[in-house]
Structure 1
Amino acid sequence: MMLALALGTDPALAETTLERIGRTGEVRIGYAPEVPFAFRTSDGQLSGIGPALARRVFARMDVRTVRTVESEFGALLRELKAGRFDVVAVGMFILPERCRQVIFSEPAFQAGTGFAVRPGNPRGLHSFEDVARDGSVRLGAVAGAVELDYARASGVTEEQLVIFPDAATAAAGVKAGRVDAYAAMALTVQSLVQRNPRQLERAEPFRNPTVRGRTSLEHGAYAFRPEDEDLRDAFNRHLAELLRTPEYLDLVAPFGLTRENLPDRTTAQLCAPSP
């Protein structure tokens, strides 16, 4: 405080993130590579559900420049709070433990879970419980992903889990036989299978788990720093408008989302502790 007074500045008058974005017309979004949520196209452009919706919402806020910052999924919240970027734009699931660290927008979509396996699903894996029943099975997941919680709650041991930094590395682990399955959002699994049809298969049927009374049909949203409520609230207003228009489905359809993926719960409901 004394330093601020000596420099002639008042902390109460410090520029907020929303004010800075409004003044500069520029916002920084953080992402971790995972098809179809955030990925680079062959020409180097960042695409995916998270960036596509973020760009459209910020355009409605008259923010025309969107800077992108790549990170590992497990580091996204830490780097958001450290100020490396202004919003996490990968469609991160809203979970009570994450709500204690950051604030979320209202949900932008909902999606389930799946397994990527080798062709023929040689270990016969159709659920996390199937993995837990056989201690020789190895299951891959990305660091910080909710699928790790599903696995542990279903009885999968730490010795069975192999942690990868990103989806591409996890998929390579399945193809090389390092793990027997890779657990991820069903949309991610489907995209990986489409890109590697001779080396990967989607485990079907697949039984989504229910953990602590919560279905694994989770809701993805955008994460903000707790002190940036005004930015989150402005983003929410424009996101809500977008969700009510045909434009939303036009935006997300190329990434595999349909009307069935429209959110049906609120952030307040999703942040509430499980009973």
Structure 2
Amino acid sequence: MTSKLTTALFIAGGLLASSALSANAGPLTDRIAAGEPIRIGFSNIPIWGYPDEKGDPKGFVNEIALGILAKMGYTDVETSVTDWGGLIPGLQANRYDLITGGLYILGSRCENINFSEPIIVTGDAFLVSAGNPKNLNNYKDVLAQSDTILAMYAGSNTVEAARKEGLDDAQIMQLPGPAEVLAAMKSGRADAAALTYFEAVDFAAQSDGKFEITDPNALPDWTKNWVGVGFRFEDEDFMKEFNAALAGYVGSEEMLAAVQEYGVTEVNVPQGEATEWVCANR
């Protein structure tokens, strides 16, 4: 699924950005110099990054990324939607120039792609049946009940977290994406779902009281995560320019107004944590 954004280009900003990048190498810089659009890949993840009914990018990570690019003078953007597990491989295969959609900065991912400086900090939560009948508030609760199944989507940070907490494949149900995770919960094939906090809130709100979310603070502190925008290693020079614009945009009134509809507030603004530190500690 592909859509093209054709908003007007701020010529002055574009000239400044082009000048700053003219001496730098990288596939993305070459595309921009050739007049081609910046290609953004994301998955269909509620709240974080998803296509609207016209196929245009929505979600707070897309809003932030597009806002930063606009500050750099770039508004000629092409977007593609893919499965969650296809984001990093697609970036590496040069199908996208950057990937959004809510990628947590994890050490394992930092080995495969570059991340911008953090744009959001948040945690996870469990989606459970109303009343939480099995009292599943964290991974240890699931581990203690061997017949309990915890759903999550393949490639998500919760897969690593569950395994770190001792769960094996017998209790972990990996699915293609959030929609399939929700379907597993509705059908009773899963007893709980490990999701980002924003996803869990969204699903619970739309369940007509069938589901609720657990307290994110019941999960280990190390499950708190920072979100970044993914780039190829070859585009490090462009990413540096992106980070320079990011520094003045993330946490600004303009950014907070753009993401207000998604429930993002000042609480989710990173407090100076650097990607280098996050890669080493997550």
Q: TM-score, normalised by structure 1?
A: 0.88
Q: Determine the structure 2 residue equivalent to 1:232.
A: 239
**Which residue of the other structure, out of 138, 142, 148, is the alignment partner of 2:149?**
138
2:72 to 42, 47, 61: 61
**Contact 1:25/1:62 (<8 A) preserved:** no
Q: Does 1:262 align with 2:274?
A: no
Q: Which runs of 5+ in 1 are unaligned?
A: 1-12
Q: How far apart are 1:217 and its partner, in Å? A: 1.0
After the TM superposition, which segments of 4 or more aligned residues of structure 1 sit over 4 Å from their partners? none
Going from structure 1 to structure 2, the CA distance change for 1:244 and 1:199 (only over 3 Å counts) comes to closer
User: The residue matched to 1:241 in structure 2 has which SS?
Assistant: helix
C-alpha distance in 2 between matches for 1:103 and 1:256:
27
Q: Cα deviation per residue 1:21-46 (whole Å; 9 max; x = unaligned)?
A: 25426211111111110123344432
Q: Which among 18, 27, 50 is matched to residue 39 of structure 1?
A: 50
Residues 32, 38 of structure 1: 8 Å contact kept: yes
1:223 positional shift: 0.6
C-alpha contact (below 8 Å) 1:105/1:235 kept by paired residues = yes
Letter in 1 for 2:63: A
* Stretch of structure 1 that moved more, 110-119 or 197-206: 197-206
The CA deviation at 1:74 is 1.6
Are 2:43 and 2:87, in contact at CA under 8 Å, matched by a contact in 1?
Answer: yes
Q: Distance in 2 between matches of 1:26 and 1:152?
A: 40
Taking the TM superposition and a 5 Å limit, the aligned residue runs for 1:69-218 are 69-204=80-215, 207-210=218-221, 215-218=222-225
Q: Which residue of 1 aligns with 2:6?
A: none
Offset, 1:88:
0.8
**Structure 1 equivalent of residue 4 of structure 2:** none
**Distance in 2 separating the partners of 1:131 and 1:69:** 36
Once superposed, what is the RMSD of the aligned Cα atoms? 1.8
In structure 1, C-alpha distance between the alignment counterparts of 2:247 and 2:166, rounded to whole Å: 38
Name whichever of 112-121 and 34-43 sits farther off. 34-43
- Residue 134 of structure 2 aligns to a residue in which SS? coil
Q: Which residue of 2 aligns with 1:7?
A: none
Distance 1:244 1:117 in 2: 32
Contact 1:150 1:209 in 2 (8 A): no
Contact 2:26–2:234, Cα closer than 8 Å, also in 1: no
1:91 is paired with a residue whose SS is coil
CA contact (8 A) 1:114 1:186 kept: yes
- 259 and 14 in structure 1: CA distance in 2 versus 1, 3 angstrom threshold: closer
**Distance apart, 1:204 and its partner CA:** 3.9
Match of 1:8 in 2: none
> Partners of 1:44 and 1:70 in 2: how far apart?
9
Tell me how many residue pairs correspond in the alignment. 258
Alpha carbons of structure 1 residues 177 and 26: separation in structure 2 relative to 1, 3 Å: same
How far apart, CA to CA, are the structure 1 residues paired with 2:45 and 2:156?
Answer: 12
Distance 1:43 1:199 in 2: 30
Distance in 1, matches of 2:54 and 2:205, equals 20
Question: How far, CA to CA, are the matches of 1:15 and 1:147 in structure 2?
Answer: 33
Q: Indicate how the Cα distance of structure 1 residues 41 and 176 shifts in structure 2: closer, same or farther if over 3 A, else same.
A: same
**Residue 219 of structure 1 aligns with which residue?**
226
* Cα deviation digits, residues 88-141 of structure 1 (max 9, x gap): 111311111111111100000000010111222221111111001111000001
> How many Å apart are 1:205 and its aligned residue?
6.8
SS in 2 for 1:184: strand
The residue that corresponds to 2:280 in the other structure is 272
TM-score by length of 2: 0.86
